[in-house]
């Protein structure tokens, strides 16, 4: 590489934050495509750093042939696109010059990638995640159960939990054996030795003074839950009330009426009364039980109090909305703690549950038909469970388990045992993508259509392929672009695509962390489980609206609507919203709400329990909105100093400025802090504010490209001024999730094509999904 070429490009990649000194006197060479003046004006050298110390070294690569060093130049491109060079405060090229430099590099690299594609190689075997396992059981057996008590949580990598799932330890296999036993028995409604008990517990910080969505009007508190009853028979239902640390039922100062409902119909009405003078509360809820007949299958079970009055207690101050803690905001009425189901008693059989209707595609009329029918049942189950056509080898082991058990316990016991064997088979527990034997090493090859169908279904549904999709794959039709696009659009229209929100988006946006967020109760006494659930529901409904209505991905940032119920509307100071029902409301563009950056869920998971964190919020935006995550801090970096009574009060901005005096801290904080400051008008639980501890809030900041803003609205506009950066980040997150592996430099050409193609359709959600499904990394794989 010419000395001039090296200098021309070095200014982009010398370490961020270094001191830039003199303008480079070396002229650009005639052989390079870009204007000479571009480099003559903007080429700098660094007096306290050199190429060997920088993140990238260009002295060994040729700028006239970027395709020969794709990894290096893809890193340069990322810095160019985000305007990370030259440093802020130094003269910068105009947009046209930036775009010309980027276009030169991208066109060269993308042409080379088209002729020599590298689709990467996800692991050959990837175990179903806990979420995928639950969804597959639901779609295979019609049984929706919470598997969190059966299987451990999956570890995350690259932001998602479907990547580091290649191993199956003996301990984990034991968990799968136990889960298979419980699921197969429940699905078939097989009898157990004695009545079994299940207790459904409500969160301790759930306020129960008002109506709960899903329960009858005119009621307050309580819960509505889904429960699968294994057999027809009698079941004992018992309710328990919430007690404080002194074992007293809070708020029990008069008689209350408590209703128990099954599938929306009243089952039993109870009176709950305070104990007689001098007695304790041990017996006040012991009579809250009843035994009733229930048909096998899933049912909706609910318990709630009849609301006696809506009058508010008189107070000089506005009363807290949260009532669950005896020390700070005690309950004014009794609350439900748990619902326990015990049974069945006097079971009369498995009934006709949805699971049995799915499993028993035939039923023998006598013993001579049992084996033939079992073969039909198991063939259907195995084909769907293994997500491919099957042969005699696949049937051999389940049929063996069936026969051995049937001879001693009967036909249905044999089917149950065979199902148990299917549920622990590696072809069920793992997604397996085998390399064809005739493929040479280090060669890109198209996935089989069977494997493509599984990739597609686990991407969009986090579950197994439908019979229609699998049939298209078997017939060889999925290579037809029109057929593939029709299947994708049909899948997006199916409610199973909700997994794009409740599995993909909740991991991308860190929404799973909301369940464990515990803001300081002294500083935020109105934060309870009701508010937590409302925040999560708002974001879920908002994301679902983008998916179902096929809106532009940019609407995630710029939407002029949201979803609220009364509790969340009060939290946001939005008037005239009443009741527990969530509804879509329009927002004025000058309001403090609109788009993900103003959602209480996002603002809470990016805060500390006692205060906001511009650092955490800035890092969240860099990582999840702009796609440039900062590096982890060094191990010896000191914590941010907190204010104390013996020191001068400093705002968070002032303390962070002091923190950045440490050079080891400054490099990353100079990137994160200016972005996070824009959200300082939102407190640690997402309420709007203009003052923090008596000081007026300064919400001004800047992006890496030097653009300035003041507050969340201007930050939002600054992000939308270059929408391709956000769209690229969403595409990278989607592709990581779809492939089940971290992205590499060789994936960048495919990402650029997806983003560029989607631009023509205003970045609609379906355009991104179709682009990913049609991309080289999704359609192909590389051999070892």
Q: Give the model confidence (pLDDT) of 272-289 as tens digits.
A: 999 998 899 999 999 999
Q: How far apart, in Å, do the first and last CA atoms of the chain sit?
A: 33
pTM for the model stands at: 0.91
Mean pLDDT of 297-318: 77
Q: Which of 418, 338, 310 is nearest to 373 (CA)?
A: 418
Q: DSSP states of 313-342 as a string?
A: PP-SSPPPS---BTTTB--SS--EEEEEEE
Instruction: Report the pLDDT value the prediction gives residue 6, as an integer from 0 to 100.
Output: 38
The answer to whether the CB of 562 falls within 8 A of the CB of 686 is no
DSSP bridge partners of 377: none
Residue 375 region by backbone torsions, left for phi larger than 0, else alpha for psi between -120 and 50, else beta: alpha
Considering Cα of 288, then 292, then 298, then 299, what sign does the dihedral take? negative
Distance separating alpha carbons of residues 84 and 76, to the nearest angstrom: 10
Distance between CA atoms of residues 767 and 550, nearest Å: 9
**CB atoms near residue 407 (< 10 Å):** 10
What is the phi-psi region of residue 703: left when phi exceeds 0, alpha when psi lies from -120 to 50, beta otherwise? Answer: beta
Half-sphere exposure of 695 (CA within 13 A, CB side): 11
- Residue 688 exposed, middle or buried by CB count within 10 Å (0-12, 13-18, 19+): middle
Task: Give the model's pLDDT for residue 20.
Answer: 30
Asked whether the beta carbons of 718 and 707 are under 8 A apart, the reply is: yes
For residue 310, what pLDDT is reported?
A: 55
Task: Answer yes or no: are the C-beta atoms of 777 and 119 closer than 8 Å.
Answer: yes
Using CA atoms in the order 406, 411, 417, 419, what is the torsion angle rounded to 10 degrees?
150
Encoding tokens for residue 741? 């592996």
List the one residue out of 440, 429, 210 whose CA is nearest residue 322: 210
Q: Could you write out the three-class secondary structure of 703-745?
A: CCCCCEEECHHHHHHHHHCCHHHHHHHHHHHHHHHHHCCCCCH
Q: Express each pLDDT in 761-775 by its tens digit.
A: 999 999 999 999 999
Q: Is 361 helix (H, G, I), strand (E, B) or coil?
A: coil
State the residue for tokens 């999704």: 778
Pairing of strands 708-710, 289-294: unpaired
Nearest to 142 by CA among 306, 352, 343: 352
Residue with tokens 């002294």: 522
In 3D space, the residue among 557, 533, 690 whose CA is nearest the CA of residue 621 turns out to be 557
| Percentage with pLDDT > 90 across the chain | 76
Task: Please provide the average confidence, as pLDDT, over all residues in the chain.
Answer: 89
Q: How do residues 142-195 score in pLDDT, each as one tens digit?
A: 999 999 999 999 999 999 999 988 889 999 999 999 999 999 999 999 988 899
Tokens of 708: 């300035």
Q: What are the phi and psi torsion angles at 385 (to 5°)?
A: -70, -40
Residue 413 exposure: Cα atoms within 13 Å on the Cβ side: 10
Planar angle of CA 615, 701, 698, nearest 5 degrees: 90
Of 610 and 10, more confident: 610
pLDDT of residue 40: 42
Question: Is residue 297 very low, low, confident or very high in pLDDT (cuts 50, 70, 90)?
Answer: very high
The H-or-E segment that residue 235 falls in is strand 232-241
CB 539 within 8 A of CB 599: yes
pLDDT of residue 739: 98
- Give how far Cα 551 sits from Cα of 280, 517, 546, Å: 58, 30, 5
Q: Which two tokens stand for residue 349?
A: 């059989």
The encoded tokens of residue 40 equal: 């003559």
Tens digits of residue pLDDT in 50-93: 333 445 566 677 777 888 899 999 998 998 899 887 766 677 78
Write out the H or E segment, with its range, that includes residue 7: helix 3-13
Each residue's pLDDT tens digit, 324-377: 776 667 898 999 999 999 999 999 999 999 999 999 999 999 999 999 999 999
Rounded alpha-carbon distances, angstroms, from residue 413 to 181, 184, 404, 420:
12, 10, 10, 11
Task: Please give the distance of CA 79 from its chain centroid, rounded to a whole number.
Answer: 28
What's the confidence (pLDDT) of residue 58? 66
In 503-651, which residue ranges form alpha helices assigned H by DSSP? 506-508, 529-548, 555-558, 566-571, 600-605, 614-624
| CA–CA–CA angle 676, 682, 685 (5° rounding) | 110
Q: How far apart are CA 371 and CA 337, in angstroms?
A: 49
Instruction: Say which residue, 695 or 383, is predicted with more confidence.
Output: 383
Q: Do residues 710 and 696 make contact, with C-beta atoms less than 8 angstroms apart?
A: no
pLDDT score recorded for residue 637: 66
- Measured in degrees and rounded to the nearest 5, phi and psi for residue 261 equal -130, 150
Contact 258, 239 (CB under 8 A): yes
The alpha helices in 636-680, defined as continuous H runs, are: 652-659, 663-676
Closest CA relative to residue 736, chosen from 79, 161, 117, 127: 161
Is 358 exposed, middle or buried, given 0-12, 13-18 or 19+ CB atoms closer than 10 A?
middle
pLDDT of residue 36: 37
Position with higher pLDDT, 66 vs 423: 423
* Beta-strand pair 444-446/780-782: antiparallel
Residue 39 has pLDDT above 60, yes or no: no
């Amino acid at each position: 590489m010419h000395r001039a070429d090296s200098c021309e490009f070095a200014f982009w990649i010398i370490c961020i934050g270094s001191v830039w000194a003199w303008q480079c006197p070396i002229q650009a060479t005639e052989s390079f495509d870009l204007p000479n003046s571009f480099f003559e004006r903007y080429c700098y050298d660094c007096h306290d750093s050199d190429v060997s110390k920088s993140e990238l070294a260009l002295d060994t690569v040729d700028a006239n042939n970027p395709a020969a060093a794709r990894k290096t130049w893809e890193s340069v491109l990322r810095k160019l696109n985000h305007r990370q060079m030259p440093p802020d405060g130094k003269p910068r090229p105009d947009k046209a010059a930036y775009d010309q430099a980027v276009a030169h590099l991208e066109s060269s690299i993308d042409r080379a990638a088209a002729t020599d594609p590298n689709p990467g190689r996800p692991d050959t075997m990837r175990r179903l995640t806990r979420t995928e396992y639950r969804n597959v059981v639901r779609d295979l057996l019609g049984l929706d159960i919470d598997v969190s008590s059966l299987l451990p949580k999956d570890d995350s990598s690259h932001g998602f939990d479907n990547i580091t799932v290649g191993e199956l330890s003996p301990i984990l296999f034991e968990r799968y054996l136990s889960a298979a036993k419980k699921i197969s028995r429940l699905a078939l409604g097989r009898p157990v030795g004695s009545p079994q008990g299940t207790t459904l517990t409500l969160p301790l910080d759930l306020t129960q003074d008002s109506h709960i969505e899903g329960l009858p009007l005119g009621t307050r508190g309580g819960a509505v839950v889904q429960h699968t009853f294994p057999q027809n028979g009698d079941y004992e239902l018992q309710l328990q009330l919430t007690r404080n640390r002194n074992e007293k039922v809070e708020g029990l100062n008069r008689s209350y009426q408590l209703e128990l409902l099954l599938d929306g119909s009243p089952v039993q009405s109870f009176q709950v009364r305070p104990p007689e003078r001098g007695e304790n509360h041990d017996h006040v809820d012991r009579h809250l039980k009843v035994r009733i007949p229930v048909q096998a299958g899933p049912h909706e079970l609910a318990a709630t109090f009849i609301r006696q009055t809506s009058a508010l207690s008189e107070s000089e101050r506005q009363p807290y909305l949260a009532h669950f803690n005896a020390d700070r905001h005690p309950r004014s009425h009794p609350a439900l703690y748990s619902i326990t189901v015990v049974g069945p008693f006097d079971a009369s059989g498995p009934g006709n549950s949805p699971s049995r209707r799915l499993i028993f595609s035939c039923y023998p009329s006598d013993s001579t038909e049992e084996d033939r029918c079992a073969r039909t049942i198991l063939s259907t189950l195995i084909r769907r469970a293994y997500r491919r056509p099957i042969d005699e080898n696949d049937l051999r082991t389940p049929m063996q388990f069936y026969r051995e058990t049937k001879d001693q316990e009967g036909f249905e016991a044999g089917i149950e045992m065979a199902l148990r064997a299917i549920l622990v088979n590696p072809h069920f527990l793992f997604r397996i993508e085998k390399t064809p034997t005739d493929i040479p090493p280090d060669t890109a090859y198209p996935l089989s259509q069977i494997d493509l169908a599984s990739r597609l279904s686990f991407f969009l549904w986090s579950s197994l392929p439908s019979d229609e999709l699998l049939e298209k794959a078997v017939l060889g039709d999925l290579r037809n672009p029109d057929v593939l696009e029709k299947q994708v659009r049909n899948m997006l229209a199916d409610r199973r695509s909700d997994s794009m929100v409740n599995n993909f988006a909740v991991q991308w946006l860190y929404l799973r962390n909301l369940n464990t967020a515990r803001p300081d109760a002294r500083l935020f006494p109105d934060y309870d489980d009701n508010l937590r659930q409302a925040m999560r529901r708002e974001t879920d409904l908002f994301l679902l609206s983008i998916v179902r209505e096929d809106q532009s991905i940019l609407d995630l940032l710029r939407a002029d609507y949201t979803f609220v119920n009364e509790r969340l509307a009060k939290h946001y100071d939005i008037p005239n919203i009443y009741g527990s029902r969530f509804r879509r409301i329009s927002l004025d563009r000058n309001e403090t709400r609109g788009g993900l950056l103003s959602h209480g869920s996002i603002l809470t998971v990016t805060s500390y329990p006692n205060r906001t964190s511009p650092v955490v919020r800035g890092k969240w935006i860099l990582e999840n909105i702009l796609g440039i995550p900062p590096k982890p801090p060094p191990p010896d970096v000191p914590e941010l100093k907190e204010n104390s009574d013996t020191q001068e009060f400093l705002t968070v901005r002032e303390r962070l400025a002091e923190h950045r005096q440490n050079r080891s801290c400054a490099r990353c904080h100079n990137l994160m802090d200016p972005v996070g400051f824009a959200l300082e008008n939102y407190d640690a639980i997402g309420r709007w504010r203009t003052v923090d501890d008596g000081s007026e809030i300064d919400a001004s900041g800047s992006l890496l490209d030097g653009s300035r803003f003041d507050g969340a609205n201007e930050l939002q506009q600054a992000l939308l001024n270059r929408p391709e950066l956000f769209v690229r980040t969403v595409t990278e997150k989607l592709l990581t999730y779809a492939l089940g592996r971290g992205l590499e430099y060789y994936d960048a050409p495919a990402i650029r094509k997806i983003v560029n193609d989607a631009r023509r359709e205003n970045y609609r959600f379906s355009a991104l999904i179709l682009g990913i499904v049609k991309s080289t990394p999704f359609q192909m794989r590389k051999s070892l």
